[in-house]
A = this chain, B = another copy of it.
């Protein structure tokens, strides 16, 4: 149970962790308006965070509230799940005009929210079937007449079962289109059923969300490890595996397509949506993942000058990629900037709107192949930050993704470590945000020194409980986070010296990327209006901890914001809005790619950034 305080009433409720604010309030009899019934389709249930951690915005927060309100700490209470004690201000009922769905007037000065226009439309028509008297025609022509299209608008695939579809309900069919392109002709009335997928294919993690295209509602989401990882944890080793070997490339491609089909099956099962009603898919991912998914030889992406094979936005047919959604569904891949700044970076720019910013901002996307973006609407630079998979839980002794049971927060209380796990479940391992917290805490306590060494020489300075956790087994130094029984752990969960080194490599890459871009763009810390920290950390990342370990530039905390999995959010935006998808092309074209490896200063900066800040 968690404490939820509602203002202005001043009432505090004890509510179930994981429930939405709206549902919890309603269950306790407290009033929050919800004109749309809590489906994320209006703004009436919005609340403003007064205390407690503000969670990353969902796509519906962005869509309904717009960027300005989101930044002020507004969230839709129907979308926002509680995991920590919070106090929120319930918005007063506003007059009816404000209960707008979309595209209406916004408060003066606030940016327009995203208008939903996924490009997919469905139309119910009654088709006049060919008759004995009017025999010089065809089934297709009858359909085209009904919807005002030409044969060029229709793929042959749609024709295969057209005769049966037309005759099953006496000519009543629903015609699904993407733009002018007819994707399917379905017997009877299915016009309310339009769904889409936003997919982020990362080097280590793959995230798939299923959305209703008309409303933008998120119906299901699944995330799992990229099964290619067994052939190489980071991009370079992944490329090396398949380099100049079409058979191995096919193996990588088959694995990722297989996983996406598992994801499709799962989100469909979770939501009750049939896969054939999925008509649009947006995929983001780094250049190598993008190429491998398409079966494009990535050999030279791994060799200087790291040229991608293609960079333009691409729209394919699901059938061509063997994705088990509607065979004619359009699969849209966002554009690429360079060999190591891919469609995922473009999606981050899209979601953070860094390209529209009047002031200079930095967006850091933490992933196995991370990227740093710096700039404003004047100019945008980007570089890659090959962090490695440590913060996604890979190559860490007891690492795991931010799934149920992952240690996601670590604090020092009463002289000992205190752990929090995702879903308050028994501790299974440690995820990225937990690692960052743990190292920050251990740096503060003096267990780890500024070079990253677990220091066994000054244990006597530590409080006894913590001291008992620092061990040396054989040659290996480690800190026991949880002994069997602690936090429900069934085995010992430790942070080893090697784990610390992995995190150092990771944060060194990211911090040096940011430092280099600042240097090249001539932007000192005090000229940076905001630093947006993105990544798939599941719950959230502690910004003080990130600052403590030097993962990010040492800006004042209020200027740093955790924006969640921005690559996924960008994919969702492009899924729900063709205008946003168009904007991605513009963004990709405007980003200036900085090739760090070619820079003479880079090695020194990188080595420097591997160390931790001295307290």
Contacts and interface: CB of A to CB of B under 8 A. Distances in A.
A295 B161 CA distance: 9
B139 A300 contact: yes
Given A159-B296, A160-B295, A164-B297, A139 B305 contact: no
Interface stretch (A18-26, A127-135, A520-528, A567-575): A127-135
Contacts of A306: 135
A579 interface: no
Given A140-B310, A151-B312, A162-B309, A296 B156 contact: yes
A304 B132 CA distance: 7
B595 A135 contact: yes
Contact of A297 (B162, B244, B295): B162
A67 to B, nearest CB: 29
B305 A159 contact: no
Contacts of A307: 129-130, 135, 137-139
Given A162-B297, A316-B156, A136 B592 contact: yes
A598 B299 CA distance: 64
Contact of A337 (B136, B308, B312): B136
Contacts of A160: 294-297
Interface string A119-133: 000000000011110
A464 interface: no
Contacts of A244: 164
Nearest to A294: B156
A295 B316 CA distance: 21
A424 B426 CA distance: 89
Contacts of A140: 309-312
Contacts of A131: 305
Contacts of A598: 132, 135
B305 A163 contact: no
A136 B151 CA distance: 39
Interface in A306-343: 306-312, 314, 316, 320, 336-339
Interface residues of A, number: 47
Nearest to A295: B160
Given A159-B294, A160-B297, A297-B164, A138 B316 contact: no
A472 interface: no
B139 A310 contact: yes
A315 B141 CA distance: 17
Contacts of A132: 304-305, 595, 598
Nearest to A167: B300
B304 A159 contact: no
A593 interface: yes
Contact of A139 (B129, B309, B337): B309
B129 A161 contact: no
A239 to B, nearest CB: 12
A587 to B, nearest CB: 14
Contacts of A300: 139, 163, 167
Interface in A569-615: 592-593, 595, 598
Nearest to A592: B136
B138 A305 contact: no
A512 to B, nearest CB: 19
Nearest to A336: B138
Nearest to A301: B163
Interface in A340-380: none
A593 B135 contact: yes
A338 B135 contact: yes
Contact of A163 (B162, B164, B309): B309
Interface in A425-481: none
B294 A136 contact: no
Interface in A65-95: none
A450 B295 CA distance: 68
A436 B300 CA distance: 66
The 5 closest A-B pairs by CB, nearest first: A130-B307, A151-B312, A140-B310, A132-B305, A135-B305
23 contacts: A131-B305, A132-B595, A135-B307, A136-B338, A136-B592, A136-B593, A137-B311, A138-B308, A138-B336, A139-B300, A139-B310, A140-B309, A140-B311, A141-B310, A151-B312, A156-B294, A159-B294, A159-B309, A160-B294, A163-B299, A163-B309, A164-B244, A164-B297
Given A138-B336, A140-B309, 16 more contacts: A129-B307, A131-B305, A132-B305, A132-B598, A135-B595, A135-B598, A136-B337, A136-B592, A136-B593, A138-B308, A138-B310, A151-B314, A156-B294, A163-B300, A164-B299, A167-B300
